[in-house]
Amino acid sequence: MPIVAEFLIAALIVVGAFFLLVGSFALAKLPDMMRRLHGPTKATTLGVGSVLVASMAYAAVVRGTLSMHELLITLFLFLTAPVTAFMVSKAHILRDRPERAKLPPTGSEKGWATLDPSPGSTDELAGFER
């Protein structure tokens, strides 16, 4: 395979590995739950993204085939990462009393959905001690 392509693919893998490492490091280093969420949600996207681009480039240059299902992995990652982060932070707001006191007001008479179930929905918090 051409040397330029080899360098490019290797560089993509190294960059990807670096950002994945930073993402995991952030999870360990940052001091509280909400800040820890920032590491895995972001650093992982670019990390996995560049490894997948490297995989597509490898298939195109070395095997001479067009490999596109890496795009699907990216798509599924983009769909799942924010939803996971959202559910984790909702669970955190529900469970952590000091954090709840720090929340800014919503700007309307209704509260945040985790703590103030909207009318018409089943009251999932009914038995929960607030």
Partner 1 sequence: MRKILVPHPILTLLITLVWLLLANEFSAGHLVLGLILGVLIPQITSVYWPERPKIGAPLTIVEYALIVLWDIVVSNVQVARLVLFRRSDGLRSTFVTVPLDITAPEAITTLAGTITMTPGTVSADLSADGRALLVHCLDVDDPAATVAQIKARYEARLKRIFE
> Where does this chain bind partner 1 (CB under 8 A)?
18-19, 22, 25-26, 29-32, 34-35, 37-39, 41-43, 45-47, 49, 67-69, 71-72, 75, 78-79, 81-83, 85-86, 89-90, 93, 102-108, 110-114, 116-118
* Gap between the Cα atoms of 25 and 57, Å rounded: 28
* Gap between the Cα atoms of 98 and 75, Å rounded: 36
Would you say 2 or 119 has its CB closer to partner 1?
119
Least distance from partner 1 to the Cβ atom of residue 108, Å: 5
- 113: enclosing H helix or E strand: none
Would you say 5 or 38 has its CB closer to partner 1?
38
The tokens describing 1, both together, are 């395979």
* Gap between the Cα atoms of 83 and 74, Å rounded: 15
Least distance from partner 1 to the Cβ atom of residue 114, Å: 5
